[in-house]
Amino acid sequence: MADIAGRIELSPNDLNALAPDPDVGLLKAAGTPELYKPEMAELKKPYPFDRLLHATMARATAGISPISVSMAFFDWAAHLAVYPSRRSELARCAADKWLAYLAYLCQAAADQEAVPVAEPEPRDRRFKHEGWSVWPFNAYQQAFLLGEQWWDEATKGIHGVSRHHSNVVNFAVRQLVDTLSPSNVPWMNPEVMETARTHCGANFVKGFGNFLEDMRLLADGGLPPGNGDFRPGKEVAITPGKVVYRNHLMELIQYSPATDKVYAEPVFIVPAWIMKYYTLDLTPQNSLVKYLVNKGHTVFMVSWRNPEAADRDLGFEDYIKMGVLEGLSAVSHIVPNQKIHAVGYCLGGTLLMAAAAALAKRPAHDLKSITLFAAQVDFEEAGELMLFTDDSQLAYTEDQMWEQGYLDKHQMAGAFSMLRSNDLIWSRLIHSYLIGERRPPNDLMAWNSDATRMPYRMHSEYLRKLYLNNELSEGHFKVEGKAVALRDIKVPIFAVGTISDHVAPWTSVYMLNLYTDTDVTFVLTSGGHNAGIVNPPGNPKRHYQIASKAENAKYIHPSKWIETVPRQEGSWWPAWQTWINELSGEQTTPPSMGGAAAPYFVLCDAPGTYVHQT
Mean pLDDT of the chain: 86
- Please write the tens of the pLDDT for every residue from 313-370: 999 999 999 999 999 999 999 999 999 999 999 999 999 999 999 999 888 788 999 9
Of the ranges 35-44, 220-229, 430-439, 565-574, which one carries the lowest mean pLDDT score?
Answer: 35-44
158 band by pLDDT with thresholds 50, 70 and 90: very high
Q: Determine the pLDDT at residue 525.
A: 97
Q: Determine the pLDDT at residue 123.
A: 79
Whether 500 contacts 123, CB under 8 Å? yes
Please state the rounded mean pLDDT for residues 88-110: 93
Q: Determine the pLDDT at residue 424.
A: 60
111 band by pLDDT with thresholds 50, 70 and 90: confident
Give the contacts of 1 (CB within 8 A, at least 6 positions apart): 10, 11, 12, 15
Kindly state the percentage of the chain with pLDDT values over 70. Answer: 88
Residue 196's CB is within 10 A of a number of other CB atoms, namely 19
Residue 3 pLDDT more than 80?
no
Q: Determine the pLDDT at residue 45.
A: 64
Of the ranges 141-150, 186-195, 482-491, 590-599, which one carries the lowest mean pLDDT score?
Answer: 590-599
Residue ranges covered by each domain of the chain: 1-45, 241-380+470-612
213 band by pLDDT with thresholds 50, 70 and 90: confident
Counted residue by residue, the chain has a size of 614
Q: Determine the pLDDT at residue 414.
A: 56
- DSSP for residue 590: P
Residue 503 pLDDT more than 90?
no
Cα distance between residue 507 and residue 522, in whole Å: 11
Cα distance between residue 591 and residue 598, in whole Å: 16
**E strand or H helix that includes residue 270:** strand 267-270
Of the ranges 150-159, 251-260, 361-370, 382-391, which one carries the lowest mean pLDDT score?
Answer: 382-391
Residue 223 pLDDT more than 70?
no
Whether 269 contacts 302, CB under 8 Å? yes
Q: Determine the pLDDT at residue 443.
A: 87
- DSSP for residue 116: P
- Please write the tens of the pLDDT for every residue from 29-82: 333 334 334 343 444 566 777 878 877 887 777 778 889 999 999 999 999 999
Please state the rounded mean pLDDT for residues 206-225: 80
Please state the rounded mean pLDDT for residues 538-553: 92
Q: Determine the pLDDT at residue 597.
A: 77
Q: Which of 548-559 are b and which e, b meaning 16 or more Cβ less than 10 Å from the residue's Cβ?
A: ebeeeeeebebe
Whether 257 contacts 298, CB under 8 Å? yes
Residue 8 pLDDT more than 50?
no
Residue 562 pLDDT more than 50?
yes
396 band by pLDDT with thresholds 50, 70 and 90: confident
Of the ranges 21-25, 155-159, 232-236, 409-413, which one carries the lowest mean pLDDT score?
Answer: 21-25
Strand partners, 292: none
Residue 13 pLDDT more than 50?
no
**Is 93 one of the catalytic residues?**
no
Of the ranges 31-40, 245-254, 272-281, which one carries the lowest mean pLDDT score?
Answer: 31-40
Q: Which of 269-301 are b and which e, b meaning 16 or more Cβ less than 10 Å from the residue's Cβ?
A: bbbbbbbbbbbbbbbbebbbbbbbbebbbbbbb
Largest CA distance in the chain: 86
The SS3 of residue 546 is strand
Q: Determine the pLDDT at residue 578.
A: 95
Q: Own/partner pairs for 23-32, CB < 8 Å, 24+ apart?
A: none
Cα distance between residue 496 and residue 506, in whole Å: 8
**Does 21 or 204 have the greater pLDDT score?**
204
Q: Determine the pLDDT at residue 588.
A: 94
Q: What is the DSSP string of 540-554?
A: TT-EEEEEEE-TTPP
609 band by pLDDT with thresholds 50, 70 and 90: very high
Q: Determine the pLDDT at residue 351.
A: 96
Q: How far is CA 208 from CA 183, 430, 434, 522, in A?
A: 18, 11, 8, 48
- Please write the tens of the pLDDT for every residue from 330-341: 999 999 999 999
Give domain 241-380+470-612's CATH number out of 3.40.50.1820, 3.30.70.1140, 3.40.50.10900, 3.40.50.620: 3.40.50.1820
20 band by pLDDT with thresholds 50, 70 and 90: very low
pTM score: 0.85
Whether 176 contacts 402, CB under 8 Å? no
Q: Which of 93, 106, 346, 604 is catalytic?
A: 346
Please state the rounded mean pLDDT for residues 87-103: 95
